[in-house]
């Protein structure tokens, strides 16, 4: 093929751009998700701590890259570069001649598999980086022409690659062996190959004497996947396929097709198509949606949450919590909450679960309500639940804030000091550090000052079952805490306690509502209907259209003998529908 | 110069450069302004009394205020050494120990200069008094996040107090495949030695790991007749017996109070475990009251423990979550006959409730003359109580004397988990005084009933105390290191 080099380059560029566009446009919140579960610090202790484990260099480089995922486009570009890098090195490994079309087509397979791996929210960048190191290592050894020196260095390189890239040392060794056997298949080479395999299998055992990590983890990781005891299958397939590709490309290199360009383009096209299908199967838009809501709640993008929910109603707890928070922030919770699916109190302020995802968005709600201690607890616990024990920049930031609000300045200082070692939180941390010890400055701060005022002023215990009471205390401590009022009324409606909805409405006096929010009117009317006869005067704050709607709802319900489907179709966005059919 | 001479000169120059980059001995500032107070160094080592074998007391000035720090340390014999790099003063171990050696029973004099806005300030000198009594060579603690319920990575570490060496005894992930891991806790040693020791591993494949004359085993201490497996342990000083409390523990969380979390027992008793025969017997199991934190007298003839005081009658039937702030514990003891393994009648040692206080975590001094405990307003989990302080009273007197521990306790922060060094001259506490959240190990000199100013466990890098976001939990003295490796410990767990 005459213009092989340019065609290969173009194929790599197209692949890289496709990867970048996928992660930037279809999967950006997975990148934000990754970034928030680590705290990359430019300090000696952090760096040495990561490097002290096998695979530490790959792990450190992976974490370094992941910090840029805070900005999805930058993260997507970095992933594209890493995957194109893997493709290029794989091509160098497989190519038997200058314009080896089959080697080039096959070289995309490990990158496509890595892309599938990265679709998993717990996949860590250390695995693709480790693959880069492994491929670089094999190519470096292969460059050495003197046979004996190459074979000696190959054996020496095994523990070094284990130190740099971790457990991928086994496929690394297989690649070296195949490379040697492809050059010469003598008894000596077979014996050397056995020696290499022995070294590769013993290296984790030797490390086991020095690191406090189980032997199994030393053989399979230790840090390619966030959940330490899970096996990073796609990453292993991506690296493990290389020895197979080496053999395959050797076989295919014997075939010299007449129209190489057509063969290359068609085989590359088929691979891209298959790769696209695999990625499409691996990626999860449901997870992406959850992460999007979490991201928007974290960044207080309330209008975006509302727009997203209006386009497609949220169907999971994290999204429901974020949506209800956005509604409350826009004073719309008690008027519009039933325009969206509600799943009880779990979609408003769910109880704590010991995982690292859902407590974060719940803590956002507690934080904005003024329940600073509870927000702090949820964030702290979420961070502790991160399966690979990393710390989280997002959590540290919030812990610094809650401690500042509480006046626990020395604790806040510790979190801020840690954040000062990061790339993207340094400026904020340094700026916020000026508030340490300065009560007046904290009180004057637009966010921390108002949250300090919003806190409950009397001591209580919170175990999760006292939600109504806590919200009442919040309102009593600060009658202008509108969000607490919205949550109080919403929580009463969600547990179908219409008597309390009517009773607690008295707290709205200081909040400047021009009219009673529509969902509250619906609940009040329901409560009135349960305790009064038709001849009794109606509650004065219920509007005529609400009354008419209630009459229509009842007559429709009676007409369909209580069958929920037709009633829900007409009145699914009312509190009455939630009350009777949820 | 011939080729070899040139090479040797070059080699010497490189060697000098390398050496000078390793050891930094600055000069004291030529001119400075005198300041009439001692420096605000971290940790605060001004006028403390330290063991004659302690690791270097490295310290620093605040980097937010100062750009450099220089310290001149003078021995009583007049020898002077100068240290300082940036705002930190880090003293080489060998030099420090040689200075301590010649200063036993006397004091080191420390002069500190701090550079602020380009000007050097000379602070008033302070002294570090070097006691003749050494401290136990080792210390072990659990490193944990001060979390609420969820725990991540935790480890039990041992630290050499004469140097900065820190090694892991065990961690909660090495032997467990569950993502939640295990909760490892309550490491305990017989008579400060490690050939008889134990700790618990809760959760997946959990149990109590006991080292019996160097041999490892994992046991389950739960019996049909106990309310839980063993919790807070105390090794008998001579026999292969461990007293435990058994507890049903719960937690609630404060909405305002900086105490952050409340840990309380709804039931607790005391049991005695025979390591040799794997037998568990009940020491006391009052149905109404709670017994906890057993500890032996050094002769093994008495068992001290804390026991709750009956609640006012109108509160007895109420949910403990609403009454535990009224729950107070007094200090009791029972005699123990090793031959018959029987306990005597209960005897009140200290009536804390009378003073509207509550005690926890008692520890008898090695000579049996004193007892330390934590004291707070209520409850028995004082590590989260800002008002908790350490109390030391005399034993063997009709009216126990309360010693002055004002130099050891912090104001407004929790001081808890006291213990004695094996020679009885050093008291160790876990204190949250640095920031109210992350507990640290503080040490105080004790001699003839006089307690010295507490000082923070020294670290090679003084900033380590700031950036290590872990709490030091259950600090225990040891006279020797744990020799069993993490991997060996992990073998007692089923795969």
Residue pairs between chains A and B whose CB atoms are closer than 8 Å:
108
Q: DSSP E strands: which ranges in A423-567?
A: 461-462
> B151 and A384: CB-CB below 8 Å?
yes
Contacting residues of A for B262, CB less than 8 Å apart: 461
Closest chain A C-alpha to B172 CA, distance in angstroms = 10
Residue pLDDT tens, chain B, 495 long: 444 444 454 455 555 444 444 455 788 899 999 999 999 999 999 999 999 999 999 999 999 899 999 999 999 999 999 999 999 999 999 999 999 999 999 999 999 999 999 999 999 999 999 999 999 999 999 999 988 888 888 999 999 999 999 999 999 888 876 666 788 999 999 999 999 999 999 887 889 999 999 999 999 999 999 999 999 999 999 999 999 999 999 888 887 777 888 899 989 999 999 999 999 999 999 988 999 999 999 999 999 999 999 988 888 888 777 787 889 999 999 999 999 999 999 999 999 999 999 999 999 999 999 999 999 999 999 999 999 999 999 998 888 999 999 999 999 999 999 999 999 999 999 999 999 999 999 999 999 999 999 999 999 999 998 889 999 999 999 999 999 999 899 999 886
Taking CA atoms, what residue in A is nearest to B149?
Answer: A381
Look up the pTM and report it: 0.91
CA distance to partner chain A, nearest, from residue B147 (Å): 7
Preferred mutation among B147, B148, B256 to probe A, highest tally of A CBs within 10 A: B256
- How close A433 gets to chain B, by Cα (Å)? 10
Window A:21-80, CB contacts with B under 8 Å? 43, 45
Q: Which residue has the tokens 């300030």?
A: B121
CA distance B72 to A138: 55
Q: Is A470 on the interface with B (CB under 8 A)?
A: yes
Which residues, in sequence order, are CB contacts of A576 under 8 Å at separation 6+?
A522, A526, A550, A553
Query: 10 Å Cβ neighbour count for B173?
Result: 24
Chain A residues inside the 8 Å CB shell of B166: none
Distant-in-sequence, close-in-space partners of A208: CB < 8 Å, separation ≥ 6: A215, A218, B487
- Please give the structure tokens belonging to residue A269: 């096209």
Hey, how many other C-beta atoms are within 10 angstroms of the C-beta on A380?
Answer: 23
User: Residue A167 above 60 pLDDT?
Assistant: yes
The CATH class of B27-130 is mainly beta
Model pLDDT, residue B21: 47
Task: Give contacts of B 238-267 with A, CB under 8 A.
Answer: 252-258, 260, 262
Q: For residue B257, count CB atoms less than 10 angstroms from its CB and return exposed for 0-12, middle for 13-18, buried for 19 or more.
A: middle
Can you give the residue ranges of every domain in chain A?
Answer: 4-282, 287-454
Q: Which CATH architecture best describes the domain A287-454?
A: Alpha Horseshoe (1.25)
The Cα A252–Cα A101 span in angstroms is 9
C-alpha B429/C-alpha B443 separation (Å) is 7
Is B44 an 8 Å CB contact of chain A? Answer: no
- Nearest residue of A to residue B157 by CA position? A212
- 8-state DSSP, A284: -
* Chain A residue numbers touching B253 (CB-CB < 8 A): 373-374, 377, 461-463
| CB distance A379 to A398 below 8 Å | yes
pLDDT at A582: 82
Q: Which residues in chain B have their CB less than 8 angstroms from residue A213's CB?
A: 173-174
Which chain B residues contact residue A417 at CB under 8 A? Answer: 466-467
Q: How far apart are CA A56 and CA A35, in angstroms?
A: 18
How deeply is B250 buried, as exposed, middle or buried, from its count of CB atoms within 10 A (0-12, 13-18, 19+)? middle
- B487 chain-A contacts, CB cut-off 8 A: 208-209, 212
Shortest CA distance to A165 belongs to which of A119, A208, A131, A215? A131
Q: Inform me whether the C-beta atom of residue B438 falls under 8 Å from chain A C-beta atoms.
A: yes
- Residue B321 sits at the chain A interface (C-beta within 8 Å): yes
* Residue among A381, A415, A463 minimizing CB distance to B252: A463
**Set of chain A residues whose Cβ sits within 8 Å of the Cβ of B257:** 459
**SS3 sequence, B217-229?**
EEECCCCCCCCCC
Percent of chain A with pLDDT over 70: 99
Q: Using the Cα atoms of residue A392, residue A386, residue A377 and residue A69 in order, give the sign of their dihedral.
A: positive
A9 interface with B at CB cutoff 8 Å: no
A385 touches B at CB < 8 Å: yes
The partner residue sitting opposite B467, judged by closest CB among A45, A212, A455, is: A45
CA atoms within 13 A on the CB side of A486: 28
Give the three-state DSSP class for B202: strand
pLDDT of residue B315: 84
Instruction: Spell out the CATH class of B138-490.
Output: mainly beta
- Distance between CA B42 and CA B49 in Å, rounded? 16
Q: Is the CB of A446 inside 8 Å of chain B's CB atoms?
A: no
More confident residue, A151 or B260: A151
* Cβ within 8 Å, pair B256-A457: yes
Give the integer Cα–Cα distance in Å for A261 and A282: 31
Place of tokens 């062996």: A177
User: Count of CB atoms within 10 A of residue B429's CB?
Assistant: 28
Best of A363, A410, A452 to disrupt the B interface (most B CBs within 10 Å) is A410
Interface of A with B in 207-226 (CB under 8 A): 208-209, 212-214
Q: Which of B143, B171, B200 is nearest to A228 (CA)?
A: B171
Check if the beta carbon of residue B119 is closer than 8 Å to that of residue B64: no
Q: Does A380 touch chain B (CB under 8 A)?
A: yes
Residue of A nearest to B468 (CA): A414
With contact defined as beta carbons under 8 Å apart, do B429 and B408 qualify?
Answer: yes
Residue A259: the pLDDT is: 82
Q: Does any CB of chain B come closer than 8 Å to the CB of residue A387?
A: yes
Q: How far is A143 from chain B (nearest CA, A)?
A: 35
Query: Dihedral angle at the C-alpha atoms of A176, A181, A183, A188, nearest 10 degrees?
Result: 100
In this model, does residue A331 exceed pLDDT 80? yes
Shortest Cα distance, chain A CAs vs residue B273, angstroms: 30
CB–CB contact A418 B149 (8 Å): no
pLDDT at B151: 84
Mean pLDDT, rounded, of chain A: 92
For residue B397, the SS3 value is coil
Residues 6+ apart with CB under 8 A from A171: A134, A239, A240, A242, A243
User: What are the pLDDT digits (tens) for A86-144?
Assistant: 999 999 999 877 677 888 899 999 999 999 999 999 999 999 999 999 999 999 999 99
Q: Is A353 on the interface with B (CB under 8 A)?
A: no
As beta bridge partners, residue B85 has: B88
Instruction: Report d(CA A319, CA A326) in Å as an integer.
Output: 10
pLDDT in tens, B332-366: 999 999 999 999 999 999 999 999 999 999 999 99
CB contact under 8 A, B256 and A459: yes
Q: Given an 8 Å threshold on Cβ–Cβ distance, is B469 in contact with A418?
A: yes
Listed by start position, the domains of chain B span 27-130, 138-490
Residue A492: which of A376, A565, A390, A578 has the closest Cα? A578
Cβ A381–B486 below 8 Å, yes or no? no
pLDDT for A1 equals 56
- Could you please report the per-residue DSSP string of B291-356? EEEEEE-TTSSEEEEEEEPPPPGGGTTS-HHHHGGG--EEEEEEEEETTTTEE---EEEE--GGGT
- Find chain A residues with C-beta within 8 A of B155's C-beta: 212
Q: Calculate mean pLDDT across residues A270-277.
A: 95
Q: Kind of pairing, strands B48-50 and B126-130?
A: parallel
């Amino acid at each position: 093929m005459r213009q092989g080099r340019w065609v290969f380059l173009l194929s790599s560029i197209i692949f890289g751009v496709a990867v970048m566009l996928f992660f930037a446009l279809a999967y950006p919140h997975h990148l934000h998700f990754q970034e928030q579960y680590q705290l990359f610090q430019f300090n000696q202790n952090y760096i040495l701590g990561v490097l002290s484990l096998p695979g530490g260099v790959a792990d450190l480089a992976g974490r370094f890259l992941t910090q840029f995922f805070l900005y999805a486009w930058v993260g997507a570009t970095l992933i594209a570069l890493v995957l194109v890098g893997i493709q290029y090195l794989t091509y160098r490994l497989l190519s038997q001649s200058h314009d080896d079309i089959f080697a080039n087509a096959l070289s995309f397979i490990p990158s496509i598999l890595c892309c599938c791996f990265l679709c998993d929210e717990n996949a860590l960048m250390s695995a693709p980086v480790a693959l880069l190191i492994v491929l670089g290592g094999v190519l470096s050894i292969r460059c050495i022409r003197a046979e004996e020196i190459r074979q000696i260095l190959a054996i020496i390189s095994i523990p070094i690659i284990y130190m740099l890239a971790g457990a991928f040392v086994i496929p690394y060794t297989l690649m070296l062996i195949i490379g040697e056997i492809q050059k010469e298949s003598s008894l000596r080479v077979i014996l050397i190959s056995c020696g290499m395999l022995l070294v590769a299998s013993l290296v984790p055992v030797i490390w086991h004497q020095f690191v406090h990590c189980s032997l199994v983890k030393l053989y399979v990781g230790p840090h390619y996947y966030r959940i330490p005891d899970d096996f990073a299958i796609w990453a292993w397939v991506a690296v493990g396929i290389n020895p197979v590709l080496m053999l395959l490309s050797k076989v295919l290199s014997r075939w010299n097709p007449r129209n190489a360009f057509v063969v290359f383009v068609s085989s590359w096209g088929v691979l891209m198509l298959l790769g696209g299908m695999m990625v499409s199967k691996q990626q999860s838009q449901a997870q992406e949606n959850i992460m999007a809501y979490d991201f928007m709640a974290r960044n207080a993008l309330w209008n975006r949450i509302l727009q997203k929910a209006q386009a497609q109603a949220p169907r999971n707890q994290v999204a429901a919590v974020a949506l209800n928070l956005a509604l409350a922030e826009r004073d719309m919770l008690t008027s519009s909450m039933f325009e969206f699916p509600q799943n009880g109190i779990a979609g408003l302020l769910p109880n704590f679960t010991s995982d690292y995802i859902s407590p974060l968005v719940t803590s956002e709600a507690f934080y904005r309500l003024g329940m600073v201690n509870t927000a702090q607890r949820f964030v702290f616990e979420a961070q502790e639940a991160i399966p690979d024990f990393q710390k989280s920049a997002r959590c540290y930031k919030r812990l610094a804030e809650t401690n500042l609000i509480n006046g626990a300045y020395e604790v806040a200082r510790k979190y801020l000091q840690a954040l000062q070692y990061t790339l993207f939180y340094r400026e904020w941390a340094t700026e916020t550090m000026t508030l340490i010890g300065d009560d007046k400055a904290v009180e004057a701060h637009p966010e921390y000052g108002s949250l300090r005022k919003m806190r409950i002023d009397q001591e209580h215990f919170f175990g999760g079952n006292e939600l109504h009471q806590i919200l009442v205390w919040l309102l009593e401590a600060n009658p202008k805490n509108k969000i607490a009022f919205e949550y109080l009324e919403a929580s009463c409606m969600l547990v179908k306690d219409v008597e309390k909805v009517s009773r607690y409405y008295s707290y709205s006096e200081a909040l400047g509502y021009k009219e009673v929010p529509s969902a509250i009117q619906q609940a009040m009317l329901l409560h009135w209907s349960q305790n009064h006869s038709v001849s009794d005067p109606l509650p004065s704050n219920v509007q005529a259209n609400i009354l008419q709607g209630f009459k229509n709802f009842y007559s429709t319900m009676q007409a369909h003998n209580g069958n929920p489907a037709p009633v829900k179709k007409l009145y699914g966005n009312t509190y009455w529908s939630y009350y009777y059919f949820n | 110069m011939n080729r070899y001479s040139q090479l040797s000169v070059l080699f010497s120059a490189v060697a000098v450069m390398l050496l000078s980059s390793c050891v930094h001995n600055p000069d004291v500032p030529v001119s400075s302004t005198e300041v009439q107070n001692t420096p605000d160094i971290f940790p605060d080592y001004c006028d403390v009394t330290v063991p004659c074998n302690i690791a270097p007391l490295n310290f620093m000035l605040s980097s937010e205020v100062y750009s450099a720090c220089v310290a001149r340390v003078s021995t009583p014999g007049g020898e002077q050494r100068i240290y300082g790099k940036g705002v930190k003063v880090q003293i080489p171990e060998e030099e420090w120990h040689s200075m301590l050696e010649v200063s036993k029973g006397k004091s080191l004099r420390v002069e500190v200069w701090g550079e602020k806005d380009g000007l050097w300030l000379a602070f008033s000198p302070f002294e570090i008094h070097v006691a003749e009594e050494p401290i136990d060579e080792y210390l072990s603690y659990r490193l944990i996040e001060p979390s609420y319920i969820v725990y991540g990575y935790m480890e039990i570490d041992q630290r050499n107090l004469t140097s900065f060496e820190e090694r892991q005894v065990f961690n909660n992930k090495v032997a467990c495949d569950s993502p939640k891991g295990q909760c490892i806790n309550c490491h305990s040693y017989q008579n400060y030695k490690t050939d008889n020791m134990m700790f618990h591993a809760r959760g997946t494949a959990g149990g109590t790991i006991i080292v019996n004359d160097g041999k490892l085993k994992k046991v389950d201490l739960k019996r049909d007749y106990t309310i839980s497996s063993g919790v807070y342990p105390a090794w008998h000083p001579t026999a292969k017996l461990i007293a435990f409390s058994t507890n049903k523990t719960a937690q609630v969380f404060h909405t305002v109070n900086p105490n952050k979390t409340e840990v309380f027992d709804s039931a607790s008793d005391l049991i005695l475990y025979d390591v040799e025969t794997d037998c568990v017997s009940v020491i006391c199991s009052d149905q109404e009251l709670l017994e906890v934190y057993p500890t032996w007298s050094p002769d093994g003839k008495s068992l001290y423990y804390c026991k709750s005081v009956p609640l006012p009658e109108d509160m007895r039937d109420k949910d403990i979550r609403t009454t535990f702030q009224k729950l107070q514990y007094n200090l009791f003891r029972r005699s123990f006959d090793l031959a018959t393994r029987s306990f005597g009648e209960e005897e009140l040692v200290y009536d804390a409730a009378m003073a509207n206080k509550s005690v926890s975590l008692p520890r008898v001094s090695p000579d049996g003359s004193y007892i330390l405990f934590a004291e707070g307003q209520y409850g028995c989990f004082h590590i989260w109580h800002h008002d908790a302080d350490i109390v030391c009273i005399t034993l063997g007197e009709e009216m126990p004397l309360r010693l002055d521990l004002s130099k050891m306790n912090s104001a407004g922060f929790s001081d808890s988990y006291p213990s004695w060094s094996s020679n009885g001259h050093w008291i160790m506490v876990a204190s949250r005084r640095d920031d109210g959240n992350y507990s640290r190990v503080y040490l105080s000199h004790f001699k003839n009933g006089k307690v010295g100013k507490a000082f923070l466990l020294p670290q090679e890098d003084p900033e380590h105390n700031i950036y290590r976001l872990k709490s030091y939990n259950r600090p225990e003295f040891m006279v020797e290191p744990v020799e069993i490796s993490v991997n060996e410990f992990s073998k007692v767990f089923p795969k």
